[in-house]
Structures are given as structure tokens and as C-alpha cells.
Amino acid sequence: MQHQTNRRKFLHATACSTAALTAASSPLILGAEDKAGSKEPIVGTGEHTYRCIHHWGRSSLPATHNYGNASHGVSVDQQGFVYITHTGTPDSVYVFDPEGKFVKSLAGFHSVMKGNASTASGHGIDIRMEGGEEFLYLAASYAKKSFAKMSLKGELVWTRSRDEIFEHAGFANPQKLGFRPTNTSFRPDGGYYLGDGYGSAYLYEYDAKDNFVRAIGGPGEQNGQFRTPHGQWLDARDGIPKLVVADRANSRLQWFDMDGNHLRTQGGFLFPADIDSQGELLLVPDLHARVTILDINHQPIAQLGDDPAWRARVLDKNESMRTSPKKWVNGKFIHPHDACFDVDGNIFVTEWVRGGRVTKLVHA
């Protein structure tokens, strides 16, 4: 079986900017008119300048469809269709065409009861080509739904439960471990990882034949340990494949070799939620109101939307910013939860906000 390691098929490598971090940390945010005459804010600087389209695709959603408590994950297939996971109704995955027109919804993880409320449990989503067909890998962030593989048509290939995963890992006292998986990623040999970000703080590795290989990490603050390994990705930008993990509550990224050995740790992040790559660039959505782009040397060359004063408001519980859209400012992020490139170097950002928000950053 032929495997590809990117969830998003990238045909063009984006050139790496040599702009200094000082320039990147003071991004341009303008209420500028684009060529069509519409007023859309501009974020970023230099080669990493983007036209900001908030609520992308929202106007085409049917009246019966909503993102619920949050829009969580985003992935793009080889045809440019955009897949958004959420916690609303109906279903848990919405699909849009490249122009932002709603196409269909997929059941994904069906609605579940939390207290007296019924809600979907869409969270992590990634796409991979396998043997000429693309498949969705879904992490529900809900222990009873856990982990699944589906076709792009919504046909279920398999599900894997908490008990199965814990049995594979050989945990002696699994009843003491939480389990709320958050995201998946892929290996170049056809294997894959499931990150238990809100649960046990382990990453579970499987090979191309769905056999369990190892558990990586576990709770803690030392190198090789995690506090909320919320997202992860294959970093092969230098030609040597490595696993990079968004160790969110430790405010850092960690890199591992393909045998699970820790290689390096990098701080300087706020609350990194997930990771994507294109060409020499690494994309890191940060739940604390910004999106960072790193160059091949792991240096931040753009911090989109970064604004300390705005971030203080976002993080002020008295502001209730994630549930107060009237306070939102164009060109500013609230809680970026996932982000990915499309084939043209544009960026899609989904945010953990009530009612959901998808932003398309169009590469200028």
C-alpha cells in the first residue's frame, strides 16, 4: 500500500522568509481595502502577509447546522475541500468546497449526551492518502468515542476504544488513567500516532498494519514528558523525519526521532495547540490569541495577530471573550485551536469559541 505522510497535499513549497523576529513580533494589522474593494484586515508582514477573512464559509451553512460550543479541527483534502470538526449539530464534520460553499456533513462521532445536553464530539481531524484513496483520522476528545478512521464519504473503516488502546499499551492500572484523545499524525512508513492530550498524556504509536508499537511520553515537565500533548505532526523539513509535539500546558514544542527518543525541546510559546508544515515552514496555532510560523531553523518569522494588550483581554475571565462575539476585533484571534495550509499557501484557522469561527488567511 502506498502511503503519503501529509494530511494536506502540498504541491508548492513556500519560500522561507529571512525577516528578523523583531519585525515578525510587530505584525501589520490594517483595515485595508483589497483589490476588490472589500475591507478585510491585513495581518502579518513581508512574505508572510495575509488578507484575513473571518467566518469563512459561515453564510453557506444551512440554518439547521451550527458549530455549537466550538469549531475544533481543520484539514484540507487533495481537491481543496475543507473539513471542519465541531461540537454542534447535526453530525460532527462539515465539508466545504474551496470557495467556502457548504457541501455536506459527515457523522464522524455521533451526538453524545453530556449531562442533559446532546452534542457532537468532533475534535482532531487529519487526512492521509492510502493506496490512491484519502481517509479521515478522527480523535473525539471523548472517552467513549475515542478514535476512528473513515473514508471521505463518511464510511467507517474502524474504531479503537480506550480499553483496546490501554490493553495494547500494557498499562498495569488503566483505571487510574484518563482518556480523551485530541489529535492524530502520520509516520512516513505508513504508521500513525494518537495523542491523548486531555487524558493520559501519552502518544500511542501504531504501524501501517494497525499494530501497536509503543507509548511515548506520559505526564510531567521533564524532556520527553507532557502536560497536554494536544497536537503533533511529522516534521521532515530538513529531510530527516521527526515527530514534533505541541506540549500545550508546558508552553513548548518537543521533537522525537522515529523510535520515540527525545531530540530537542523549544520554548517561547504560550499555549501551542497543534502543528502543520509546508515547505520549510512550521505552523503553530496558539490558543492564546496568535498563530506562529517558524522557519527551517525553528526561528519564529511571523506571529500573526500577536498583541499583548489584546491577549490580556482574551485571557481575562471577566471579559468572557470566547462567548462574546460583539467584543471581537477584525484581524485579531481569540483562541486558535487548529490551523493548516492549503496548496496555495493560504492558512485556515479554527477557533475554540462559542458558535465557532473559521478564518481563512489569504496569502497576499
pLDDT band for 119, please (50, 70, 90 cuts): low
pLDDT tens-digit readout, 279-338:
999 999 999 999 999 999 999 999 999 999 999 999 999 999 999 999 999 999 999 999
Q: Give me the sign of the Cα torsion angle 278, 281, 286, 290.
A: negative
Does residue 5 have a pLDDT over 90?
no
Are 49 and 30 contacting, i.e. CB atoms less than 8 angstroms apart?
A: no
Residue 174 has a pLDDT of: 76
Residue 113 has a pLDDT of: 43
Residue 199 has a pLDDT of: 93
Alpha carbon separation from 8 to 129, 204, 235, 268, 329 (Å, rounded): 9, 22, 14, 27, 30
Average pLDDT of the segment spanning 232-250: 98
Residue 364 has a pLDDT of: 85
Residue 145 has a pLDDT of: 67
Instruction: Please provide the average confidence, as pLDDT, over all residues in the chain.
Output: 88
pLDDT tens-digit readout, 185-233:
999 999 999 999 999 999 999 999 999 999 999 999 999 999 999 999 9
SS3 of 257, please?
coil
- The highest-confidence range among 89-98, 176-185, 333-342, by mean pLDDT, is 333-342
- Alpha-carbon distance of 342 to 340, in angstroms, equals 7
117-119 and 124-130 as β-strands: parallel, antiparallel, unpaired?
unpaired
Does residue 170 have a pLDDT over 50?
yes
Q: Which domains does the chain have, with CATH numbers?
A: 21-363 (2.120.10.30)
Verdict on whether the full-model pTM lies above 0.75: yes
Residue 186 has a pLDDT of: 98
pLDDT-above-70 percentage for the chain: 86
pLDDT tens-digit readout, 122-167:
899 999 999 999 999 999 877 776 788 999 999 989 988 889 999 9
Are 171 and 181 contacting, i.e. CB atoms less than 8 angstroms apart?
A: no
Does residue 246 have a pLDDT over 90?
yes
